[in-house]
Amino acid sequence: MMQRRTFVQAAASATALAALQPLAALAQVAQPKIYYGFPAGSAGDNLARRVADKLGGTAYARSNAVVENKPGAGGRIVLELLKGSPADGSVLTLAQASALTIYPHVYSKMGYTMEDFAPISIGAQMIFALAIGPLVPESVKTLKDFVAWAKANPEKSSFGSPGAGSMPHFVGSLFGINAGITFQHVPFRGSLPAVNDAVGGQIAACVTPTGDSLAHAKAGKLRILAVSAPKRVAEPDAPTFAEQGYPEIVAEEWFGFFAPAKTPASVISAANTAIRAALNDQTVVSGLASIGLVASGSSTQDMRNSLDTEFKRWGPLVKKVGFTAES
């Protein structure tokens, strides 16, 4: 009788344990933290927060993630922080691809390498817009007009970007080289400060992710003259650099989610599944589209392949511009 009771108790315990296993997986990370290297309110910050709000109650996390903004150094600060974070899925970083594909060609000394991180998933694709503000006369309505104005006013011809060595920096610089104009680069700590200075007339133009200048363009405070897409997009309705005679200036970039390199594969897989599910949510898709971002979840391998391809592509372009961190 005692043996039967022991057997029944053991069976009941096993059943209870099996029932709890999904909850154990559910609680793998209590509340993740997502670092983002630019100011709150920017397009990438919007992406981070929309995804963060969908991660709770998944096999990856018990609660929604918390986003922490750590602006500075063109987004390098958050990757350095991630490198030293626990490799258990509790800390992620949302970073732009250029921090790993362009910066190594620009900075002779960096606090991280690509090997320090585990790609999880691409978050969203973006293109860049060249927009001009009130420092440029209203008669300037096309890229051709702007080139003529810049040649006549080299002392005023300047553009802001989210930071030195960023992809928008190189888009603007390549345009200046190909157009044969003086186009002085002014680095900022993120897109929004650059956009605000263009709106305020402190600089002539800005080159930023389209979503960061879109609202001001619709309000008539900025004029978008060109976008870096390979072909025209619905939003903003502006001609591409390529169709206006600058075929070299085609640039698309993505924001992606990363974990520390030694994070277990099972955690990366759970995070990838949760993030891709968030990016498939229609409210997230439409919300990102409204600010010029295209939700684009990916496999970890596709993300890694993209990093390798873009790293090789941008090496020669960086050399053409001739910019290094010491220049």
Domain co-membership, 64 together with 108 = yes
Has residue 165 been placed in a domain? yes
End-to-end CA distance of the chain: 85
Q: 72: domain CATH number?
A: 3.40.190.150
The answer on 115 and 38 residing in a single domain is yes
259 and 114 in a common domain: yes
Query: Could you tell me if 109 and 187 lie in one domain?
Result: no
229 occurs within a structural domain: yes
CA atoms 24, 22, 68, 122: torsion sign: positive
Note the pLDDT tens digit of each residue in 98-148: 999 999 999 888 899 999 999 999 999 999 999 999 999 999 999 999 999
Q: Which of 139, 130, 142 is nearest to 198 (CA)?
A: 130
Quick check: is 28 in a domain?
A: yes
- Domain annotation covers residue 5: no
| Residue for token pair 């100011």 | 39
Same domain, yes or no: 213 and 235: yes
- Domain containing 175 — which CATH number? 3.40.190.10
Print the domain residue range for 67: 12-17+22-126+253-321
pTM for this prediction = 0.81
Of 244, 271, 303, the residue that ends a domain is 244
Q: Decide which of 198, 213, 244 is a domain's last residue.
A: 244
β partners of residue 253:
126
Q: 294-295 and 66-69 as β-strands: parallel, antiparallel, unpaired?
A: unpaired
Side chain identity, residue 309? T
Assess whether 131 and 238 both reside in one domain: yes
Looking at the fold, whether 187 and 139 belong to one and the same domain comes out as yes
133 and 214 belong to one structural domain? yes
Q: Are residues 116 and 133 in the same domain?
A: no
- pLDDT value at position 18? 38
Q: Is residue 3 in some structural domain?
A: no
Q: Choose the final residue of a domain: 201, 226, 244.
A: 244
Position 10 scores a pLDDT of 41
Distance CA 161, CA 157 (A): 14
- 326 lies in a domain? no
149 lies in the same domain as 231: yes
Q: 7 in a domain, yes or no?
A: no
Low-confidence ranges of the chain (pLDDT < 50): 1-27, 327
Phi, psi of 238 (to 5 degrees): -140, 150
Q: What is the pLDDT of residue 326?
A: 62
Other residues' Cβ atoms within 10 Å of the Cβ of residue 158: 21
Same domain, 239 and 293: no
- Domain contains 300: yes
* Count of structural domains within the chain: 2
> Does 162 share its domain with 53?
no
| Token duo for residue 322 | 């001739």
